Structure 1
């Protein structure tokens, strides 16, 4: 370990001063919020700012740049960092940020610095040197006082790459959670906004002519048998508030308040997950789902159902349509009171529809919580590893890969990746379920420039086998890998009949009923949603050739398991080359990389299905 002056290794620059009329159009722009919320800059900067070429040159963003928040209301939020892992052409950064650009290439490693600068060790250095007047502020004088205690460059690379792999897993999980949330929202919209919940014949109610009755309170039609209720229907209350001083940094339980998770505590006041509405301050009206065993303060209002038939996710989604913004009062301190919230109205569906919705949505909510727990474990692992690696109590081996895999697997509940939950799809629905899965794949991959017919078929094969779904399996050997000829020759016409997609010049074109895919998908594949989302996320990054290699390796591996034959990497590679003459175009290194990909991402077969049929002749 060696001590350096931060200012000796990096050059500090201020950000661009802009006017309101420049915002919302132009070139990519890095905001204070983006830096504050993440160790690394996102892949794309969604904020825009109209800037000139000269400004883009002066306030540029390059790989290795570190951005620090320049000002804050509190010391502990000052100098929060985010690191660029690539160049951002034409992008500029906010005047509320400081950019520090490396003056050297062999003393600091940017991925390591991302974690080091957010560690307790450096954060204490920052707060001890910061200036606090009306607001905390970071300037070049303070920058010159800051010290860095760093391990050798090669050690930083090992540590940084390991921690970055954990960070990427967390980000992947966050994207899966976002997709699960979107699925829940889509299902609610179909059922309770468009009123196309399944009728007695499993057809969309309103679209199929279900009876609608005019409601005098809402001044519009609602399904027959449904009612309009006030919020007094719910059990609404606020719990005891605890002060920031009472919270404990290493407490066991999360505290939820006006700004979501606001700290930790050594006690909890709610055993189960609850739906809350923040009711104080600038975040007033935000709707949150807490995690089990949390302390909920009086700055968040708990809203519970008085009916056992109503799943809490119904309340969560309904609140987004309830008009909370209309009942916020208070100019200096925005607030929502129980008196005001009880004036709101909502549509109460029939008991049978509520029960059906609960059955559909439970697996989505449960899966989201499992992934949230994974992220908590991964974040704890990341934060524990950094000091242990820096002081030598834990070491990374020369390759880094084996330890990385062990660390990630140890932090991730295996059930979510290995155990295939039964889907229970009736035999007469399997063909349609297969179409739905294919429609979901197209919807996800439609913008992927590598999404060819070959990649489409291989993703379909991997998806069916990973979740162990027997959707009239009919795969056999084809030059480019496992292939279901009957399915691939009918799916395009099936898409057109359902009005999901048209296909012209090998490009899919969305049609008017594409939105229906999501509801069907949730109905058939909700128990497997997390595993499929993970699979699609990682395959979306691959080329056609890489997907072909992976699917073929999976197929020969699965065949060996079915036949109870010995399985080694060498034998799998040999089987791969025996598949067809086409496979000779791929190098040993590419095949080994494919095997490593399957293992690292836990896409490993278990002998599901039947032996693939071999074509009569090679193609």
Structure 2
């Protein structure tokens, strides 16, 4: 396959967005301003920015800065290492405004395929050139001219389309799998709410308990009614807990150098496991620190101020079944061992409710780094459903967790394949027939 040398400026136009004065930032409105937080630079894709509340812009907007579905964008500031050269595709027309920290990429007709450009810009060749030319300040910057000055080698347009089709097919499957996991998670949340918040779990006849007149009793501790036969207990009487391993920089390794270590970056505000947060630990550890699939863990540390939209302190999760060999957790994580194994599925949902999180956040202590006073978890008075109901919920929940883990593992393989193919396809070592 013949490759021809170009400057990116021969193939694309790159335009900076408009300046958006902060006085017009708002928590609601019609248009959302794009920021560097919209780039998932690890997966090279678009993501909704949930790190800020005032993402809407209510000032005057020039029409050319209102984005259309399918537009390619790339960041002009590097607020995280590796961000420069990332690309994302706008998912919806008439919703997002291009800010001055974001560049729009327009392909020159007949020169470069739209989807090929999306993969070319974040290629190793371009990223290395952008990194070398970036302005060296606390936050590194690039510019439209710097992007256009990058040298690239590209195949004919017909080959570009073939290459882009292969990579797009992999990305489409990865995206579909993520949506499947989101649906599974939503299903588990709905079931918890229906059974344990609304109390409409199936009665002995398979009918919704409370709706069909199932008996309730007033509990003076909780100061509300709960189903007859349920207990109210102090949670600390039901479990034992221990922290993970203490680590320092010398005991951390690169991927594959050490055992996977669940840490505070493994938790996310949306209750799901954050794959990108995993660390690798190459220090010593004892058997009691080893985690098993679906062990119950809680984050006990947070490096930001309390914010219900971003908090991870007090969040819990079940360790996904995606690792080979030993797994450990850091000292920022508590492992919770329950006398009744089925109870962890119920408590995991409870610990991630808004109600519980509003309660437990009061036990976050510290200034720059917050630590969880664990007595807040232990002293929580909680209603406990009947054993048979817990067993039913645990069976359904475990099945969901297994499906989620299987999908995560499949996506890891697909991502590795895509990342391996990308440079080989771009430099002509692998040819698409």
TM-score range, shorter-chain basis?
A: 0.7 to 0.9
Query: Quick check: 1:214 aligned with 2:218?
Result: yes
Q: 1:42 to 1:259 in 2, by over 3 A?
A: closer
Three-state SS of the structure 2 residue aligned to 1:101 is strand
Q: Name the stretch that deviates more: 2-11 or 156-165.
A: 2-11
Query: Quick check: 1:49 aligned with 2:76?
Result: no
- How far apart, in 1, do the equivalents of 2:95 and 2:213 lie? 54
Three-state SS of the structure 1 residue aligned to 2:74 is strand
- CA shift for structure 1 position 183: 0.9
Instruction: Work out which of the residue numbers 298, 303, 316 in structure 2 matches 1:277.
Output: 298
- CA shift for structure 1 position 275: 3.5
Query: Quick check: 1:11 aligned with 2:14?
Result: yes
- How far apart, in 2, do the equivalents of 1:14 and 1:320 lie? 38
Q: 1:150 to 1:337 in 2, by over 3 A?
A: farther
Instruction: Work out which of the residue numbers 317, 340, 365 in structure 1 matches 2:349.
Output: 317
Determine the structure 1 residue equivalent to 2:334. 301
- How far apart, in 1, do the equivalents of 2:386 and 2:194 lie? 16
Measured against aligned partners, the alpha-carbon deviations of 1:189-239 in whole angstroms (never above 9, x if no partner) come to: 111111121222222222222222222221111122222233322333321
Instruction: Work out which of the residue numbers 344, 365, 374 in structure 2 matches 1:338.
Output: 374
Indicate conservation of the 8 Å contact 2:265/2:278, yes or no. no
Q: 1:369 to 1:354 in 2, by over 3 A?
A: same
Query: Quick check: 1:94 aligned with 2:109?
Result: no
Indicate conservation of the 8 Å contact 1:275/1:315, yes or no. no
Instruction: Work out which of the residue numbers 368, 375, 384 in structure 1 matches 2:420.
Output: 384
Higher helix share: 1
Query: TM (normalized to structure 2)?
Result: 0.79
- How far apart, in 1, do the equivalents of 2:6 and 2:362 lie? 54
Determine the structure 1 residue equivalent to 2:408. 372
Query: Quick check: 1:196 aligned with 2:200?
Result: yes
- How far apart, in 1, do the equivalents of 2:394 and 2:294 lie? 15
Q: 1:126 to 1:343 in 2, by over 3 A?
A: farther
Task: Give runs of ≥4 in structure 1 deviating > 6 Å.
Answer: none
Which ranges of structure 2 fall in alignment gaps of 5 or more residues?
Answer: 267-275, 283-288, 305-310
Indicate conservation of the 8 Å contact 2:9/2:148, yes or no. yes
Q: 1:371 to 1:181 in 2, by over 3 A?
A: same
Q: 1:358 to 1:106 in 2, by over 3 A?
A: same
Indicate conservation of the 8 Å contact 1:27/1:51, yes or no. no
Indicate conservation of the 8 Å contact 2:36/2:102, yes or no. no
- CA shift for structure 1 position 121: 4.1
- How far apart, in 2, do the equivalents of 1:360 and 1:66 lie? 41
Determine the structure 1 residue equivalent to 2:150. 146
- CA shift for structure 1 position 186: 0.8
Measured against aligned partners, the alpha-carbon deviations of 1:102-136 in whole angstroms (never above 9, x if no partner) come to: 36223332322323333444433333332343223
- How far apart, in 2, do the equivalents of 1:115 and 1:339 lie? 50
- How far apart, in 2, do the equivalents of 1:107 and 1:275 lie? 53
Measured against aligned partners, the alpha-carbon deviations of 1:464-496 in whole angstroms (never above 9, x if no partner) come to: xxxxxxxxxxxxxxxxxxxxxxxxxxxxxxxxx
Indicate conservation of the 8 Å contact 2:297/2:318, yes or no. yes
Indicate conservation of the 8 Å contact 1:309/1:358, yes or no. yes
Indicate conservation of the 8 Å contact 1:81/1:117, yes or no. yes
Determine the structure 2 residue equivalent to 1:291. 320
Determine the structure 2 residue equivalent to 1:80. 86
Determine the structure 2 residue equivalent to 1:258. 264
- How far apart, in 1, do the equivalents of 2:23 and 2:379 lie? 37
Instruction: Work out which of the residue numbers 236, 243, 252 in structure 2 matches 1:238.
Output: 243
Determine the structure 2 residue equivalent to 1:417. none
- CA shift for structure 1 position 182: 1.0
Determine the structure 1 residue equivalent to 2:271. none
- How far apart, in 1, do the equivalents of 2:17 and 2:248 lie? 36
Measured against aligned partners, the alpha-carbon deviations of 1:293-333 in whole angstroms (never above 9, x if no partner) come to: 344222233334331332x4322211123233332222322
Query: Quick check: 1:348 aligned with 2:369?
Result: no
How many residues are aligned here? 391
- How far apart, in 2, do the equivalents of 1:315 and 1:11 lie? 50
Indicate conservation of the 8 Å contact 1:255/1:262, yes or no. no
- CA shift for structure 1 position 142: 4.4
Indicate conservation of the 8 Å contact 1:242/1:297, yes or no. yes
For 1:455-466, list aligned pairs within 5 A. none
Q: 1:137 to 1:230 in 2, by over 3 A?
A: farther
- CA shift for structure 1 position 367: 1.6
Three-state SS of the structure 1 residue aligned to 2:365 is coil
Higher strand share: 2
Query: TM (normalized to structure 1)?
Result: 0.57
What is the RMSD of the two structures over their aligned residues, measured on CA atoms?
3.2
Three-state SS of the structure 2 residue aligned to 1:265 is strand
- CA shift for structure 1 position 253: 6.1
Determine the structure 1 residue equivalent to 2:171. 167
- How far apart, in 2, do the equivalents of 1:253 and 1:108 lie? 43
